[in-house]
C-alpha cells in the first residue's frame, strides 16, 4: 500500500516555500518541476527530516539522500526534485511525475540559483559577523560562563546556529579560518544547552517593543508583566519561556494598585488565563510538569515552545510548533466563554478611573495585530 499524498510545486513561490514548516513528511510527496535542467541548491531550514531525490530530464535518478539536519544541499543538474519522508517509497509515483512534468506549460525561465546564491551569501556574512562579535567579547579563548553572562539566550541560539552553518560550509566555501575555529569552540562550549538555545533563537526573541503597552483595563501607559516565575535556581537557558507573551499581561501602575494585583495570585492567573486562553493553558502545563519534574523529552526543533500534546494544532488553539513559535499578540486566541467571563470579572470588578467606559481598552488589545510577514496565514 502506498498512501503518499502527491503535490506538484510549479511557481517560484511554491518552490521557495516547499516543505518549510511541515511537522513531518510522513505522507507527503512534494514534486518540484522546473522548466530547465540545471544544478540547483536546495535548503532544509525549518524543514523536518526528509529524503531528497533529483531526476534529470530523461528520468534518471541523479541524487537520492536522506537529510536530517538544516542545511543547504547542492544538487547535480536536474529538472525534477522530489521531497518525501525519510522512509517513504516514492518509486510508484515516478512515472506519474515524469509524465505530468513533460505536459506542463513551460514556466518563465527564472534561474532559481541566482536568488539562492545571494541568500546564501547574506547568511554567510551574517554568520561571520556573529563570530567576529564572539571574538571581540571573549578575546581569545571561549569561556562558557562569559557566553552565559554576556548574551541573551535567544542571541546565543542565533550564534550557535551561525556556528553550525559556517562549519557546514567551510569545506566548499572559503571562510576565514578564525571564524571556523571560533565556531568549533562555541559549539563545544554550548553543547549542554543546544536544544534550548536553538528553540530560543526562534521563540525567545524580544517582542515587547512591537506590542502596544497600553493598560488593558484603563488604556493608560503601562507595561507587560510576567505572571508565572521560574524560581531562583532555574537554569538561565530555559527562563526565556517565562518571558513569552503567553505569560504576560499589560497593566498600568494605577490598576495594579487598585486591583491589589501584587498580593493577589488568583487575580493574576485569572487575567493571564483569560487573555491567552489555550496558549496559557499549554504554558501552564509545561510549567507544572517542570516543577514536578514530569517534563517529557520532546522534539524542541519541531516544537520549540512546549511538547506537542500540551497544546492544540493551531496557534489560536495553543500550538507550540515551530510555525507558531514567533511571539504574537493575543489576536484571535480561542478563548472559551468561561475564560472571557473570568477575564472581564477580574478586570472590571472595581470601578476604573477611565472616562471611556466598559471594554474599550480590552477590545483594542484583543484586536491589535502585527503586520503579517510572508508565509503567515491571517
Interface positions with Zn ion (CB under 5 A): 215, 217-218, 252, 255
* Shorter beta-carbon distance to Zn ion: residue 82 or 271: 271
Of 215 and 342, CB closest to Zn ion = 215
Angular region, 219: left φ>0, alpha ψ -120 to 50, beta rest: left
Residue 252 C-beta: closest distance to Zn ion, Å: 3
Residue 258 CB, shortest distance to Zn ion, in Å, is 8
Q: How far is the CB of 352 from Zn ion (least distance, A)?
A: 7
We find the least distance from the C-beta atom of residue 206 to Zn ion, in angstroms, to be 23
Which of these, 250, 257, 207, 238, lies nearest to 370 by C-alpha position?
A: 207
> Measured between alpha carbons, how far is residue 378 from residues 130, 273, 372, 374 in Å?
33, 23, 7, 10
Q: How far is the CB of 242 from Zn ion (least distance, A)?
A: 23
Which residue, 203 or 255, is less far from Zn ion as judged by CB?
A: 255
One-character DSSP codes across 63-93: EEEEE-SS-EEEEEEEEEEEEE-TT---GGG
Instruction: Kindly state the smallest distance separating residue 229's Cβ from Zn ion, in Å.
Output: 22
- The smaller minimum CB distance to Zn ion, of residues 115 and 256, is found at 256
C-alpha of 115 from chain center? 23
Half-sphere exposure of 31 (CA within 13 A, CB side): 21
CB of 169 to Zn ion, least distance (A): 51
Nearer to Zn ion, 14 or 354 (CB): 354
Closest CA to 179 of 230, 214, 127, 144: 127
For Zn ion, the closer CB: 18 or 330: 330
* Nearest residue to 76 (alpha-carbon basis) of 42, 113, 39: 39
Query: Helix (H, G, I), strand (E, B), or coil: what is residue 240?
Result: helix
What's the CA gap between 139 and 333, in Å, rounded? 46
Asked if residues 331 and 377 have their Cβ atoms less than 8 Å apart, the reply is no
Grid cell of 68 as nine digits: 536530517
Looking up cell 510548533 gives 321
Q: Least distance in Å: CB of 317 to Zn ion?
A: 29
Decide if 348 contacts 363 (C-beta within 8 A). no
Task: Dig out the grid coordinates for 67 from the structure.
Answer: 537529510
Helix (H), strand (E) at residue 251: strand 248-251
Q: Coil, strand or helix: which one is 31?
A: strand
Residue 9 or 252 having the CB closest to Zn ion: 252
Nearer to Zn ion, 40 or 217 (CB): 217
Nearer to Zn ion, 25 or 252 (CB): 252
Rounded least distance, CB 225 to Zn ion, Å:
12
**Residue 171: all three cell numbers together:** 569545506
Amino acid at each position: 500500500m502506498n498512501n503518499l499524498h502527491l503535490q506538484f510545486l510549479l511557481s517560484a513561490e511554491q518552490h521557495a516555500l516547499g516543505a518549510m514548516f511541515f511537522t513531518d513528511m510522513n505522507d507527503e510527496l512534494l514534486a518540484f518541476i522546473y522548466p530547465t535542467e540545471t544544478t540547483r541548491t536546495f535548503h532544509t531550514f525549518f524543514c523536518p527530516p526528509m529524503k531528497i531525490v533529483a531526476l534529470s530530464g530523461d528520468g534518471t535518478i541523479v541524487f537520492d539522500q536522506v537529510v536530517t539536519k538544516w542545511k543547504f544541499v547542492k544538487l547535480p543538474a536536474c529538472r525534477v526534485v522530489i521531497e518525501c519522508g525519510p522512509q517513504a517509497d516514492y518509486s510508484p509515483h515516478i512515472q506519474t511525475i515524469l509524465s505530468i512534468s513533460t505536459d506542463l506549460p513551460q514556466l518563465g525561465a527564472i534561474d532559481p540559483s541566482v536568488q539562492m546564491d545571494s541568500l546564501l551569501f547574506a547568511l554567510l556574512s551574517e554568520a561571520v559577523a556573529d563570530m567576529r562579535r564572539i571574538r571581540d567579547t571573549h578575546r581569545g579563548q571561549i569561556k562558557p560562563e562569559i557566553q552565559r553572562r554576556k548574551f541573551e539566550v535567544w542571541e546565543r541560539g542565533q550564534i550557535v546556529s551561525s556556528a553550525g552553518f559556517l562549519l557546514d560550509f567551510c569545506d566548499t566555501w572559503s571562510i576565514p579560518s578564525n571564524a571556523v575555529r571560533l565556531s568549533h569552540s562555541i559549539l563545544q562550549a554550548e553543547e549542554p544547552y543546544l536544544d534550548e538555545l536553538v528553540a530560543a533563537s526562534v521563540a525567545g526573541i524580544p517582542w515587547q517593543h512591537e506590542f502596544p503597552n497600553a493598560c488593558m483595563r484603563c488604556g493608560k501607559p503601562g507595561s507587560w508583566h510576567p505572571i508565572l516565575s521560574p524560581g531562583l535556581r532555574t537554569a538561565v537557558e530555559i527562563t526565556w519561556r517565562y518571558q513569552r507573551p503567553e505569560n504576560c499581561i499589560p497593566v498600568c501602575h494605577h490598576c495594579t494598585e487598585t486591583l491589589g494585583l501584587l498580593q493577589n495570585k488568583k487575580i493574576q492567573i485569572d487575567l493571564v488565563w483569560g487573555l491567552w486562553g489555550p496558549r496559557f493553558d499549554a504554558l501552564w502545563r509545561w510549567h507544572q510538569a517542570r516543577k514536578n519534574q514530569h517534563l517529557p523529552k520532546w522534539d524542541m526543533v519541531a516544537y520549540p515552545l512546549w511538547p506537542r500534546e500540551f497544546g492544540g494544532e493551531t496557534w489560536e488553539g495553543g500550538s507550540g510548533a515551530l510555525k507558531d513559535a514567533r511571539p504574537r499578540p493575543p489576536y484571535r486566541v480561542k478563548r472559551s466563554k468561561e475564560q472571557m467571563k473570568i477575564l472581564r470579572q477580574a478586570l472590571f470588578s472595581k470601578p476604573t478611573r477611565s472616562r471611556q467606559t466598559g471594554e474599550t481598552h480590552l477590545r483594542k488589545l484583543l484586536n491589535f495585530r502585527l503586520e503579517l510577514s510572508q508565509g503567515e496565514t491571517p
